Structure 1
Amino acid sequence: MSKVEYSAKFDPATTAKAMAYELNVSPKHCIEILREIKGKKVTTVKTFLEDVIEKKKSVPFKRFNRNVGHKRHQTGWDAGRYPVKACGEILKVIKNAEANAEYKGLDTENMRIIHAASKKGHVTRGMMPRAMGRATDWNIETVTVEVVLGEGEVR
């Protein structure tokens, strides 16, 4: 595994970072979730992600919304889904970043997500046998998720 850097530089005295490498979740789901939580307070984000996991709230899909059903309880956007697996993994990263902030002595009650991004990870190649001696690619995409908490403004 190669070394993965954060996509932006931050002041280590006022921020706390966390990253998860090569998660086996959907890249599209991660992009939509991280877009939704960026700039919000950590306590609000944790309750939102827990509600998505329990399927009480949905994540609005604004970019990857082709053939995505509408959700009645959403306001401001119609298309949405409940990406349970991706929300669970991102919630772990946020809790890790919050623990890092607490270890540094930062005020975790007023922390916001100032940076949230996902990158493509390693692709595990696979093949599915077909008829007549042919085969179809059956690859597994992975995602690297990075979250930065801080008291400053959102990037």
Structure 2
Amino acid sequence: MVRYSATPANSAKSAQTRGSYLRVHFKNTREAAAAITGMKLQKAITYLEDVKAHKQCIPFRRFAGGIGRCAQAKAFGTTKGRWPVKSAEFLLGLLKNAESNAENKGLTLEELVIKHVQVNQAPKQRRRTYRAHGRINPYMSSPCHIEIIVSEEEATVKREDDGKSPKLNKRQLARKRLVASRQ
């Protein structure tokens, strides 16, 4: 069995899938994976279909140097976004695989949430391009490994009210809003 970098809290209520040495850009795939982490599985599938159709963009946060601005990125609180179609196709394939793995385990598909997505760099593939004056430059590709873990969302139990509300700072409130928007 292949070792995953994360272990689900309840392995009976989760399914996992992975792809190795995938010939798709690492940076684009990392940004797309960050966008779908925490989403419900069905919502993530429709979101990636919209990315392929250029109806919604992937917000670029870390690898955003030289990325143009787009109006669709405003929905994610940023200005930079793109539509990495090939990354969306690879992630869709893995999500459909995770969905069938979960169905095989007997999990309810409506309750599945993407708990863990990790994109790692695979060994680069080297080609060459010929330049003027007899020079040769590298023509590298940046493939990646992807692993996804989906789990059934556990029913949240309401805590009884003790009269005190917890004080949250700005960062905690922003994180709470981000998690709520992804569901």
TM-score by length of 2: 0.77
Closer, same or farther: CA 4–122 of 1 in aligned 2, 3 Å: farther
* Matching of residue 129 in structure 1 with residue 127 in structure 2: no
Match of residue 27 from structure 1: 26
SS of 1:103 mapped into structure 2:
helix
Post-superposition offset of 1:152: 4.8
Q: Which moved more, 1:17-26 or 1:127-136?
A: 127-136
Q: How many residues are aligned here?
A: 152
> 1:1-155, aligned counterparts within 5 Å?
5-10=3-8, 11-73=10-72, 74-75=74-75, 76-152=77-153
| Structure holding more helix per residue | 2
Q: How many Å separate the matches in 2 of 1:69 and 1:4? A: 39
Q: CA deviation at 1:138?
A: 1.1
Counterpart amino acid of residue 8 in structure 1? A
Q: Any conservation in 1 of the 2:25–2:141 contact (CA below 8 Å)?
A: no
- Structure 1 distance, partners of 2:47, 2:112, is 16
RMSD, aligned CA: 1.8
Distance of 1:152 and 1:16 partners within structure 2: 12
Instruction: Measure how far apart 1:128 and its partner are.
Output: 1.7
Cα 1:137–1:5, aligned 2, differ >3 Å: closer, same or farther?
Answer: farther
Structure 1, 20-29 or 145-154: larger mean CA deviation? 145-154
| Runs of at least 5 residues in structure 2 that lack an aligned partner in the other structure | 155-178
Secondary structure, counterpart of 2:148 in structure 1: strand
State how far apart, in whole Å, the 2-side matches of 1:69 and 1:128 are. Answer: 27
Moved more, 27-36 or 69-78: 69-78
- 8 Å Cα contact 1:114/1:152 also seen in 2: no
Q: Could you tell me the percent identity over the aligned residues?
A: 35
Deviates more, 1:92-101 or 1:12-21: 12-21
- What is the TM-score normalised by the length of structure 1? 0.90
Alignment partner of 1:106: what SS? coil
